């Protein structure tokens, strides 16, 4: 009976957590004249595809920009975080404790504070409203997290593996590229996935450093449906549904690597 009670409680909590997702899909098929209906339709009995037609005709460029920014942020984050994590975990440079503390502090800074600082810098450099500027801005959030994950994972790699590479004549760079990085696949997938999700769902940096550009991400593309006197809720929800598909697919495919990557380094010998 206790097991059935726990299962029932789990199902109830799961249903409560997933209800916003269900309502998102339901509203995306609801007609405009039925939006304020009381009581609301729990199922789109008079469903329409107008919202999804609007997505296909108007939002594809924004989705492409978000994809470009997400992939660029992943590439930049991995290029910086993986070598930095390897250095802190294996090479043990002087001041590594202070650097790790500063990385934690960097994650505590509110994004809007960083966005304001980057706006002033970008204005002087002339990179406002550019994809490169948005990639660098998103990477400022992802790099500290990535360094800490790589450091924790690479610290758990047996020292004998690195020593064997050194005996075979490999230097620090060759050891990192040919030995440590292939072994750190789970950490790489974890960092890449979370970085992509952050960049894909970013709104603060997008509205601050890329708000008036021609290549805007999907988080800003949704706002074209919101006006002072009119809100196209079915188009808004349809865009949100379409924008959620890539993130959901990535989470389902990579969940095994994420579990291993996040828990790496949690237990020490």
Dump the DSSP string for 11-80.
HHHHHHHHHHHHHHHHHHTS-GGGTT-SSPPSS-TT---HHHHHIIIIIHHHHHHHHHHHHHHHHHHHHH
On the question of pLDDT at 266 being above 50, the answer is no
CA distances, 115 to each of 5, 75, 127, 241 (Å): 47, 21, 14, 27
pLDDT in tens, 178-201: 888 888 888 898 899 999 999 999
Q: Has this prediction a pTM greater than 0.85?
A: no
Of residues 171 and 224, the one with the higher pLDDT is 171
DSSP secondary structure code for residue 168 in this structure = T
Whether the Cβ atoms of residue 85 and residue 147 lie closer than 8 Å to each other? yes
Query: Where are the CATH 1.10.3720.10 domain residues in the chain?
Result: 52-263
pLDDT band at 251 (very low <50, low <70, confident <90, very high): confident
Share of the chain above pLDDT 70, in %: 92
DSSP designation for 225 = G
Question: Where on the phi/psi map is residue 126: left (φ > 0), alpha (ψ -120 to 50), or beta?
Answer: left
C-alpha distance from residue 266 to each of 35, 90, 205 (Å): 48, 17, 32
- The 10s digit of each residue's pLDDT in 135-163 is 999 999 899 999 999 998 888 888 888 88
**Contact between 232 and 27 (Cβ < 8 Å):** no
In CATH, what number does 52-263 get?
A: 1.10.3720.10
The structure tokens 């292939």 sit at 182
d(CA 61, CA 57): 9
Position 80 pLDDT exceeds 90: yes
Instruction: Check whether 268 has a pLDDT greater than 60.
Output: no
Instruction: Say if CB 100 and CB 130 are below 8 A apart.
Output: no
Q: What are residue 226's DSSP bridge partners?
A: 231
pLDDT at 192: 92
- Range in 67-76, 86-95, 226-235 the model is least confident about: 226-235
Over residues 253-262, the pLDDT tens digits come to 877 766 555 5
Closest CA to 193 of 105, 131, 252: 252
223/216 Cα distance (integer angstroms): 11
Question: Above pLDDT 90, what percent of the chain?
Answer: 25
Mean pLDDT of all residues belonging to the chain? 85
The predicted pLDDT at position 19 comes to 93
- Nearest of 63, 193, 246, 216 to residue 134 by alpha carbon: 216
pLDDT at 265 over 50: no
Which of the four pLDDT bands, split at 50, 70 and 90, describes residue 269? very low
Whether pLDDT at 228 is above 70 = no
């Amino acid at each position: 009976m206790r097991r059935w009670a726990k299962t029932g409680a789990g199902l109830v909590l799961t249903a409560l957590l997933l209800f916003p997702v269900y309502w998102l899909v339901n509203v995306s098929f609801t007609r405009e004249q039925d939006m304020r209906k009381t009581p609301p339709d729990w199922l789109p009995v008079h469903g329409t595809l107008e919202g999804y037609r609007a997505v296909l005709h108007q939002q594809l460029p924004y989705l492409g920009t978000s994809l470009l920014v997400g992939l660029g942020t992943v590439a930049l984050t991995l290029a910086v975080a993986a070598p930095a994590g390897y250095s802190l975990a294996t090479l043990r440079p002087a001041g590594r404790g202070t650097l790790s503390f500063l990385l934690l502090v960097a994650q505590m800074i509110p994004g809007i504070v960083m966005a304001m600082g980057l706006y002033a810098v970008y204005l002087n450099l002339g990179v406002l409203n550019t994809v490169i500027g948005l990639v660098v801005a998103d990477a400022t959030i992802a790099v500290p997290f990535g360094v800490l994950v790589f450091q924790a994972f690479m610290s758990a790699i047996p020292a004998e593996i690195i020593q064997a590479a050194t005996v075979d004549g490999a230097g620090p760079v060759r050891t990192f590229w040919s030995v440590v990085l292939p072994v750190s696949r789970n950490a790489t997938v974890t960092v890449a996935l979370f970085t992509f999700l952050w960049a894909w769902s970013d709104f603060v940096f997008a509205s601050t450093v890329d708000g008036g550009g021609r290549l805007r991400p999907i988080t800003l593309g949704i706002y074209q449906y919101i006006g002072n006197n009119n809100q196209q809720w079915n188009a808004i929800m349809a865009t949100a549904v379409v924008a959620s598909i890539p993130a959901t697919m990535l989470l389902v495919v990579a969940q095994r690597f994420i579990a291993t990557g996040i828990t790496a380094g949690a237990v020490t010998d």
